[in-house]
Each structure stands twice: as structure tokens, then as C-alpha cells.
Amino acid sequence: MTQAPATPKNGRRRHDREIIALAVPAFGALVAEPLFVMVDSAVVGHLGTPQLAGLGIAAALLMTAVSIFVFLAYATTAAVARRVGAGDLPAAIRQGMDGIWLALLLGAAVVALAMPTAPWLVDAFGASDTAAPYAITYLRISILGIPAMLVVLAATGVLRGLQDTRTPLYVAIAGFTANAVLNVTLVYGAGLGIAGSAWGTVIAQAGMAAAYLVVVIRGARKHGASLRPDAAGIRASARAGVPLLIRTLSLRAVLMIATAVAARLGDVDIAAHQIILSLWSLTAFALDAIAIAGQAIIGRYLGADDEKGAREACRRMVEWGIGCGVVLGVLIVLARPLFIPLFTSDPSVKDTLLPALLVVAVSQPIAGVVFVLDGVLMGAGDGRYLAWAMLVTLAVFAPAALLVPSLGGGLTALWWAMTLMMAVRLITLWLRTRSGRWIVTGATR
């Protein structure tokens, strides 16, 4: 019996199946992450306003610290996927272990630096006298969970590189459930107050890290990969992570500048901005799930010396990015009467919010392509270009955003500046992918 010849339609279907198999569980895991803070907020909120304010400050500091090290997941995904594509699973898992060891070292360094400086950090964040003690208590306990959080990032990257996004979803669901139970038990049952919430989160994070390590260690033993720390491998993981760290810091700077400008526009504008930013972050989870699929798939194709497969997968994922962006934009417009009342009943905030929200809706297709191409270049290990591209984007966005108040613009003008930022990212990423310079085949870049 002769096999049916490959056709473009069959190729698209194959890529679609791969994207869906990786992106859907990845989206679930991404959504589960912010639920940790939501559970803590819901539990601690019933203790009192100062406690909730303290939690908000500490959580913001913790999430900022952890987000800086998200390169542990990105760089590890690309490196492991390449070796999977090359058919060398022992080397893939060995590479993943190097990333995990790097996470432990960075986690220990963060604990050593942050523990004694916790009061200063809380004070620098502008905590009130009533909220500061609770913020310091929560922060000092939660800092102990940072090594586990970084291990989770690196181990998630290992499994994504191994083309497994289901296990991270299951671990995220288990961690969220454990965190909710522990928070209620320790805060109210044991009467530990905000400290109980912090300990509950730390224990849940440690459990997640342990679950990941069990999975990775089993894989290492099955394929005969060493678990010992390798100095050269750890240094290589760190070098691969530096450009992605620069990229992440530049992106964080964009968001901080936008928030600072919105604050200068007035209370109504900053309130509306925070609502839009929350929605923007939610849509980013959906688009980032496709980007994660891109990291794993592109890395695997390049590792297998399949340049054609990498190009076809990139093209198909761009189509997915455009399609998802259009759908998200339409949903934002259609669903605005439903979700806006959930956030505010202030007519002034609503009036300020609506036109800026339409700008966000229009920009979603652009964002869809940007997220996808970002994931493609990450999967290719093209971190150095991503760092330079994001620095260029920051250099264009910063003056445009800072001019908004002086030119009499409002929140809508600020979000047009945010759209400009995404457009610059689109141009820089599109030029790189079109050039083909990102395509470097083999088990290593």
C-alpha cells in the first residue's frame, strides 16, 4: 500500500495538532500561576485592610523578582528542545539539569540578598506604617520559597523542551489546590494570620518543585543522564539566559513607564489603566501559550536539522497568532459591557476606559504576531537579537509615552504609545525572521 504524498494541507494539519497539543495545556498552566496571588488575597483580605495592603506590596516585590528570572524557563526550553530534535535525550535532560542547578544557585543568592533587606524594600515601595509590618512578615517568609519558584521555572522549561506541557498543567493545578487549602488551614485554623498565608504558599511552591524534580530525575535515570552539577553546563545556561534577562528587564521597564505616566494623568486614568492592564495581561496568557508551543517546536526542528520544517512551523504559528489576535480583539469589544462593571462603577473611569480599550482591541492581531515571533526566536536560541530588539523598542517607546502628559494626551494616547511599542517589536522581529539568520541547525546553536 503506497503512502499518500505530503501536501501543504497535511503539513498545516500536522502543525495545528502540535500547536494545540502544546499550547492548550500551557495556557492552563499560565492562568493557574496568578491564581496563587488571588487565593492569598481572598484569604488575607478577611483579616483586615492593613494585612491586605501588606500582602499587595510583598506580592508585587516577589512577582517582580521572579519575573526577572523567567529566562530560566525560556532558555532551558530552547536548549532542551534542540537536543530532543537531534535525538539525544540524555544530553537534553543533562542540559535541563544544568538549568535547574542554575535556578538553585540564583535562588540561594536572592534569599541571601533579600532577607536582610526586606524592611528597606518594603519602605522603598511606599508602604504605610500600618501595612509595613505585615508586608515585611509576608515577604521574609515568602523569600524562602524563591529557590523553589525558580526551580519550577527551570523544570517547566525542561518539560516544555521535551514537548510535554501537560505535566506543568497538572503540577500547577495541584499547587493551586494545595495553596488554597494550606492558606485557609494556616491562616484561620492555626491562627497564624498573614504569616500562615506566606507559609502556605511556600509549602505549595516547595511541593511543586519536588514534583518537577521527581519527573526530571526519573527521566535522567531512565536515559542515563548525570544529575551532578556541571560547572561548564551551568555557565552555558547562564550565558544563554543573559540576553533574555535584558529582554525581560526592558519589557518590565516599558510596563513601569506606562504605569508611571498613567499615574501622572490622574486618579481616574491610573484606575482605568490598571483595569486595561489586567485585561491586557489576560490576553497575553493566551498568546504566550502559542509562543511557548513555538519555543518547543522550533527548537526541535532546528535540532533535527529540519530547516524546512522550522520555516513551515513558523509560518503556521504566525497565522495562528493573527487569528487568535483577531478573535481576542473581537471578544474585547463584544464583552466590554460584561466585564467593565466587574471592575468599576465609577462613570468617569468607564468613560476614560472605553476609548483606550478599543485601542487595545485593535492592537491584538499585532500582539498575536509579536508573541509568536518572540517564541520562534527564543526557540531558535536567538536571545542576543531579542535583547537588542527590545532595547530599541524601549528607546522608541519611552519618549513617546513620556510626551503624552506634556502634549495634553490622556489614557487613550498612552495606549496608542503602547500600540507603537508593539508595532516596533513586530517590525524588528519580522525583519529577523524574514532574513533567515535565526535558522541555525544542530543540537547546539
Q: Bigger pLDDT: 164 or 10?
A: 164
User: What is the reported pLDDT for 8?
Assistant: 64
Place of cell 482605568: 272
User: What is the reported pLDDT for 170?
Assistant: 94
Q: What is the mean pLDDT of residues 299-311?
A: 95
Nearby residues of 81 by Cβ (< 8 Å), 6 or more positions away: 92, 160, 161, 162, 163, 295, 296, 297, 298, 299, 300, 303, 379
pLDDT digits (tens, 9 = 90+) for 43-88: 888 888 888 888 888 887 888 778 889 899 999 999 999 999 999 9
pLDDT digits (tens, 9 = 90+) for 395-431: 999 999 999 998 888 999 999 999 999 999 999 999 9
7 band by pLDDT with thresholds 50, 70 and 90: low
**Mean per-residue pLDDT over the chain, rounded:** 90
Does the pLDDT at position 4 exceed 60?
no
Distance CA 45, CA 53 (A): 9
Distance CA 436, CA 394 (A): 24
1 band by pLDDT with thresholds 50, 70 and 90: very low
User: What is the reported pLDDT for 3?
Assistant: 45
Least confident range of 166-180, 239-253, 269-283, 370-384 = 269-283
Nearby residues of 293 by Cβ (< 8 Å), 6 or more positions away: 18, 19, 22, 23, 26, 165, 317, 375
Q: What is the mean pLDDT of residues 286-310?
A: 93
User: What is the reported pLDDT for 2?
Assistant: 41
pLDDT digits (tens, 9 = 90+) for 136-195: 999 999 999 999 999 999 999 999 999 999 999 999 999 989 999 999 999 999 999 999
Percent of the chain with pLDDT over 70: 97
Does the pLDDT at position 9 exceed 80?
no
3-class secondary structure per residue, the chain? CCCCCCCHHHHHHHHHHHHHHHHHHHHHHHHHHHHHHHHHHHHHHCCCHHHHHHHHHHHHHHHHHHHHCCHHHHHHHHHHHHHHHCCCHHHHHHHHHHHHHHHHHHHHHHHHHHHHHHHHHHHHCCCCCCCHHHHHHHHHHHHCCHHHHHHHHHHHHHHHHCCCCHHHHHHHHHHHHHHHHHHHHHHHHCCCCHHHHHHHHHHHHHHHHHHHHHHHHHHHHHHCCCCCCCHHHHHHHHHHHHHHHHHHHHHHHHHHHHHHHHHHHCHHHHHHHHHHHHHHHHHHHHHHHHHHHHHHHHHHHHHCCCHHHHHHHHHHHHHHHHHHHHHHHHHHHHHHHHHHHHHCCCHHHHHHHHHHHHHHHHHHHHHHHHHHHHHHHHHCCCHHHHHHHHHHHHHHHHHHHHHHHHCCCCHHHHHHHHHHHHHHHHHHHHHHHHHCCCCCCCCCC
Q: Bigger pLDDT: 58 or 346?
A: 58
Range ranked top by mean pLDDT from 25-39, 114-128, 184-198: 184-198
Does the pLDDT at position 342 exceed 80?
no
pLDDT digits (tens, 9 = 90+) for 360-395: 999 999 999 999 999 999 999 999 999 999 999 999
- Computed on alpha carbons and rounded to an integer, the radius of gyration of the chain in Å comes to 22
Does the pLDDT at position 6 exceed 70?
no
CA 283 to chain centre: 12
Q: Bigger pLDDT: 31 or 240?
A: 240
Single pTM value for the model: 0.88
Q: What is the mean pLDDT of residues 189-204?
A: 94
